[in-house]
Amino acid sequence: KAGVTQTPRYLIKTRGQQVTLSCSPISGHRSVSWYQQTPGQGLQFLFEYFSETQRNKGNFPGRFSGRQFSNSRSEMNVSTLELGDSALYLCASSEGQGVSPLHFGNGTRLTVT
């Protein structure tokens, strides 16, 4: 099976712009979750989707949003970018039933200048 695919791999944006990141899960996985990874904070949970429904959300401002499509692909959007949004954004998929292990993508490296 193909692994979790995230696009693009790298993004450079300026403050105030918005950005959309994409994630294609492993075939058959219905849950997609997003994490922000920074050197000092480690992995911080953003949100989780299952069958197009957001089941949980982390402590991030409303500028961070996401959605999931009927084919389980997911997108994450960040509006009004700030310098502090520079990070590696990781997507992970899982079967979504009960507590199932996460399968991670390679991430999208976002740099905000």
Partner 1 sequence: AQRVTQPEKLLSVFKGAPVELKCNYSYSGSPELFWYVQYSRQRLQLLLRHISRESIKGFTADLNKGETSFHLKKPFAQEEDSAMYYCALNSGTYKYIFGTGTRLKVLA
* Interacting residue with partner 1 among 65, 79, 104, 109 (CB under 8 A): 104
Token pair for 32:
């997609």
> 35 or 81, CB closer to partner 1?
35
| C-alpha count within 13 angstroms, C-beta hemisphere, residue 92 | 20
The 10 Å CB-count burial string (b at 16+, else e) for 12-37 is: ebeeeeebebebbbbeebbbbbbbbe
Annotate 47-58 with DSSP letters as a single string.
EEEETTEEEEE-
Considering the rule CB under 8 A, would residue 90 count as an interface residue with partner 1? yes
Q: Which of 27, 62, 48 is nearest to 91 (CA)?
A: 48
Residue from 48, 64, 74, 85 touching partner 1 (CB under 8 A): that is: 48
Q: Does 25 bind partner 1 (CB under 8 A)?
A: no
Give me the least distance between CB of 99 and partner 1, in Å please. 5
- Candidates 17-25, 49-57, 63-71, 75-83 — which segment interacts with partner 1 by CB under 8 A? 49-57
Q: Is 102 in the site for partner 1 (CB under 8 A)?
A: yes
Chain contacts with partner 1 (rule: CB under 8 A)? 3-4, 31, 33, 35, 40-45, 48, 50, 55-56, 58, 90, 92, 98-99, 101-107
